[in-house]
Amino acid sequence: MQLIRLKLPGNSIRNRIVITVLATVVLVSMLGTALSGREQANRLLNDLKAESQVLTSVFGDTLSDPLWDYDYQMVQQRLDRLAATGAITGARVFDNKGEKLAEVLVAGFDPEIAGDYLVFDRTITAESGERVGTLFLWVSTAGVSSDVWRVVRNDATTGATLAVLTAVVVFLGVNLISGPLSRVTAAMIRIGEGALNTPVPERGRDDEVSRMAEALERLRQKGLRVEQVERELRRANANLEQRVTERTAELERARQQAVEANRAKTEFLANMSHDLRTPLNAILGFSEMMRAHAFGPLGDPRYDEYIEDIHHSGSLLISLINDLLDISKVEAGKYELTEEPVDMRALVESCIRQVAAGAEAAGHRLKAEVDRNLPVLRGDERVLTQILNNLLSNAVKFTPEGGLIQVKSWCDARDRIFLSVSDNGIGMTSEGVKKALKPFEQAHNPRAREHKGTGLGLHLCDNFMELFGGAMTIESALGEGTTVTVSFPPERAIRRKRLA
């Protein structure tokens, strides 16, 4: 079923005010008519009830003598005369046993069928006070309904007339307001569309519309100024675009120079680190022979201390050079992994043995948990050892005496292998974590500065994990410890049954 929508001519404020007032008058008139009709109905019905009560009482008294004399014909005659007056629609007289003695029904009235009528009853008694029968009268309320509808029609006609007169008066009154408002609105629309030279009407009057017009005029003047500024901005923008184009070209040249300088730095570090390895290996080799007194004692005991310092310094320097060389290769994209099956349990045990002496000297407890069903990892064992050693060394270095360091390795349902190192050490802030992942930087922590380091460890681990196609995450809070977790993609997991 298609709904029919009523479209009003226009959607102006004038039409809406007229419609609103007209609807209000109509609703008030309808409500007043309904209340008036209801009041009239109640009044007429109460009058009818009172009159019928009196009629029942008086007529019942006139039937006492005929009923006492058993003159039922007289009773019937009196009922007929009562019906002829048009006051009732039906009447019945019953004896004390409920037997019907007389009856009159007007125009086929049937009291057994529900309708618009009232029922009244009266007990009839003789002069002696003895009960001789009962009278029932049925009185129609149709006359009341007719009177009520006549009143409602008169009120409705009055209300409709009032609504029309009100609409005409309101329409004429609203025109006095909406006319100036319409002219200001039309000017506002043209100005809003960009015609800023449109004159604003209705200015100079002392009312709300005039104040609106004055505000629109100020807005128009501002629009003119803005338009002028926009023209100047467009001219300035054209000059600026030319300068930006030139500056972009300069920045691109600078970027190219920076890329070339970074590439040259990487190649220099790689070459320099390689050139330094040979003499450092000789220093370490000869210092180890002198520490072992391969050709006899050195003589003065102070030489033994010097040799220890030489060997220790050389070891730190060769470690730094190795890290620099690895970072240079990774950043230059020249680092190649040596892929082989790696037993994670053996790897964890080996790395823990390497840091066990330092952890024991600091009073730390080392704990390892490796999943029994952990797959073999396809990776570079030397790189994996370097990653785990760096994480363990940091945990030992930044954990106060008597701390707990835990190493865990497990596999999830997607065959991703995880390796984590956690401690209850000094921890880092979120800013500290960001700095720790940058090369040559350490977290801003007073205790962290007590420990010497190049700041390459975590940065190198992060780069190595990218080579494996994995990821490294750091969870840390200042004073609550740190947990570093590395994860390897599923394609690097080799189930043991495949190696059989």
Per-residue model confidence as pLDDT tens digits over 438-490: 776 665 454 444 445 556 778 889 988 999 999 999 999 998 999 999 999 99
What is the reported pLDDT for 237? Answer: 86
260 pLDDT band, cuts 50/70/90, is confident
Q: Is residue 230 scored above 80 in pLDDT?
A: yes
Mean pLDDT of 295-319: 77
What is the reported pLDDT for 272? Answer: 64
What is the reported pLDDT for 499? Answer: 40
Q: Is residue 392 scored above 60 in pLDDT?
A: yes
Q: What is the DSSP letter of 471?
A: E
Q: Is residue 265 scored above 70 in pLDDT?
A: no
CA 352, 355, 361, 363 dihedral sign is negative
The CATH number of 13-162 is 3.30.450.20
Q: Is residue 1 scored above 60 in pLDDT?
A: no
- Give every strand in the sheet of 417-423, ordered side by side: 365-370, 404-411, 417-423, 481-488, 471-477
Distance, CA of 484 to CA of 389 (rounded, Å): 12
Q: Is residue 4 scored above 70 in pLDDT?
A: no
Instruction: Estimate the crossing angle of helix 457-467 against helix 381-397, to 10 degrees.
Output: 150
The answer to whether domain 13-162 and domain 337-498 are alike in fold is: no
Distance, CA of 424 to CA of 483 (rounded, Å): 9
Q: Across the chain, what does the average pLDDT equal?
A: 80
Q: Give burial (CB, 10 Å; 0-12/13-18/19+) of 395.
A: buried
What stretch of H or E contains 359?
Answer: helix 344-361
Mean pLDDT of 10-28: 72
Q: Is residue 9 scored above 50 in pLDDT?
A: no
Q: Let me know: does 411 contact 417? Beta carbons within 8 Å.
A: yes
Mean pLDDT of 29-45: 78
Distance, CA of 494 to CA of 489 (rounded, Å): 11
234 pLDDT band, cuts 50/70/90, is confident
What is the reported pLDDT for 349? Answer: 93
**Stretch among 67-71, 329-333, 421-425 having the lowest mean pLDDT:** 329-333
The CATH number of 337-498 is 3.30.565.10
What is the reported pLDDT for 348? Answer: 94
Q: Give the domain ranges of the chain.
A: 13-162, 337-498
Top-confidence residue, 303 or 388: 388
Mean pLDDT of 15-22: 74
Q: Is residue 6 scored above 60 in pLDDT?
A: no
